[in-house]
A and B are shown apart, each in its own frame.
Chain A
């Protein structure tokens, strides 16, 4: 039986090693990745990697609200598109650099999350989910009717000719998304290990019992919704420069709508690692598959895999592995 003092110092040691170690791993693996991709000397390689990293960011962001708090956001496309179109508006007006646009896009999407949450989170979880579904349609409608951002005809976005430090714009975009993805994961991990994560887990299990234990449930849900929304919007900010042509179907893409949900559910929603695994596996698969099969069929497969997984392995890959290990003991 451990005495409290040993446990306490053990906890201190863990906390000390945790963050710097993870950061080191991220920096080293990023450098390796960048080096490998440079050797391939193909802009396609960087763009494909961008897409996969974008999924990592989106899946992680979704999971903050979906996995940690248990509120299912079906309108990921709405938040992503908010980031996309904020970026488009800035491009068409003041042409600020991407690094300035990203926080603004994050703020816009975060506000959207806060507003949506405030209106619906006091009700049952399903109403939040239904409202997010309808939200995507509404924002789509607004964009379609807004000629300044291109309406249904869309807008063309020009990538800057030169960019400091990088030999091509694709490499720059890749690094930006790499940082966003890593940032999202670090934020998710920090939340998970903090009082916020603990409170969200409690209210996800039993909201009334959590309240009686002092958890301010509405406040916590709003924080999670805002952070989740903001990260989704941030991931959308570089997108116009990635695709160079933005129209509603591209911004409110079906692929993003289903993948942002499928990846965490397939990988495992309990921890930050699940969305990462789901995104890396599914994202890479799709990048390879799009070359051989149509994108619609590709999406169909994702949908089917999602349904199979949540039926057979409801806690995702990570949950499945955990169960296996426990059974072996």
Chain B
């Protein structure tokens, strides 16, 4: 593959755009796994659900995919809260959490993927919206709108969450639980309730990320599995609890995948996340911004 500045710069730009989207998929896991130690490996399945919700709303009712998922975030939040409450009662309280808790989320991941398969089949599904297609050209750099919007929304989502965690009462409670659940209990807070809210929030972000995904490219149910590596790679690389770390790590992953895709071919990109994850775990397990 010949190296040209054109190709290289476009790959970098695409990578950054992709990185913005990756922020959206990973922020939920940074909160739930990085901060609160809940290993929700079913997170990517919820992303896929969001994508298919957008597809359904778009093809059946002509609703804009982003709008559809923005609205769907609200029931998703409550579903997430219910889910955590169940997980807490069934597993965390019993203290059997490691094996059975993990298996629970794995079962969930699996059930959701197969359910999506049964409902929507194996074909690729896509949405239509005025911003899917047009591209901004700046010199030899082309920026497709369908990548730009996810970047803006993804970055925006993380920034909103950073503000939420540092400015609102519940947000600060989440940070408190992540650092010292006992202290929170001593001042009358309920770690379980706080975790519940955080979990609901993470599911809501997953649904929104699903809309972004289907805007970027057509989807089919088995994609979820490709995202597992990406999502945890970003959280670990960024430094488990660090949201700025999530942004930086998302960009690193996005650019790495884009460069690999451009110069080695797109079929290698799912392996990049895993490689990055392994390197991080081997060299600096606390991540870039981790302590």
Contact = CB atoms under 8 A, between A and B. Distances in A.
Q: Do A and B bind each other?
A: yes
A297 interface: yes
B282 interface: yes
A74 interface: yes
B232 A123 contact: no
A137 B278 CA distance: 14
Contact of B225 (A136, A142, A258, A304): A136
A133 B226 contact: no
Interface in A286-329: 294, 296-297, 299-300, 303-304, 306-307, 310-311, 314
B214 to A, nearest CB: 20
Contact of A138 (B98, B270, B282): B270
B228 A137 contact: yes
Given A119-B282, A261-B106, A296-B117, A314 B274 contact: no
A324 to B, nearest CB: 18
A126 B271 contact: no
Interface residues of A, number: 43
Given A296-B118, A300-B111, A303-B110, A269 B99 contact: yes
B63 interface: no
B102 A119 contact: no
Contacts of B274: 131, 134-135, 137-138
Contact of B281 (A120, A138, A297, A310): A120
A315 to B, nearest CB: 9
Interface in B21-64: 39, 41
Interface residues of B, number: 42
A284 interface: no
Nearest to A310: B100
Nearest to A139: B271
B96 A314 contact: yes
A144 B273 CA distance: 17
B114 interface: yes
A125 B104 CA distance: 16
Contacts of A183: none
A243 interface: no
A103 interface: no
Contact of B267 (A74, A141, A303): A141
A127 B100 CA distance: 16
Contact of A133 (B41, B117, B267): B41
A66 interface: yes
B32 to A, nearest CB: 12
The binding surface of chain B is classed by DSSP as helix
A272 to B, nearest CB: 17
Given A300-B111, A310-B104, A311-B90, A134 B273 contact: yes
Nearest to A269: B99
A70 B97 CA distance: 11
B123 to A, nearest CB: 14
Contacts of B291: none
Given A126-B39, A129-B102, A138-B274, A297 B118 contact: yes
A130 interface: yes
Interface string B276-290: 011001100100000
A306 B102 contact: no
The binding surface of chain A is classed by DSSP as helix
B114 A296 contact: yes
A119 B281 contact: yes
Nearest to A305: B107
B103 interface: yes
Given A129-B39, A300-B115, A137 B229 contact: yes
A194 to B, nearest CB: 22
A72 interface: yes
Contacts of A134: 228-229, 232-233, 273-274, 277
Interface string B79-101: 00000000000110010101110
A137 B226 contact: yes
A215 interface: no
B132 interface: no
Contact of B110 (A136, A258, A294): A258
A265 interface: yes
Given A134-B232, A137-B226, A261 B103 contact: yes
B265 interface: yes
B108 interface: yes
A307 B108 contact: yes
Contacts of B282: 119
B104 A311 contact: yes
Interface string A121-164: 00101110111011111101110110000000000000000000
A307 B225 CA distance: 19
A213 interface: no
A134 B229 CA distance: 5
Contacts of A72: 98-99, 102-103, 106
B271 A138 contact: yes
B290 to A, nearest CB: 13
5 contacts: A72-B98, A137-B225, A141-B268, A261-B103, A265-B103
Given A134-B277, A258-B110, 10 more contacts: A119-B278, A130-B39, A130-B41, A133-B229, A136-B225, A140-B270, A145-B265, A265-B100, A269-B99, A310-B107
Interface of A: 66, 70, 72, 74, 119-120, 123, 125-127, 129-131, 133-138, 140-142, 144-145, 254, 257-258, 261-262, 265, 269, 294, 296-297, 299-300, 303-304, 306-307, 310-311, 314
Interface of B: 39, 41, 90-91, 94, 96, 98-100, 102-104, 106-108, 110-111, 113-115, 117-118, 225-226, 228-229, 232-233, 236, 265, 267-268, 270-271, 273-275, 277-278, 281-282, 285
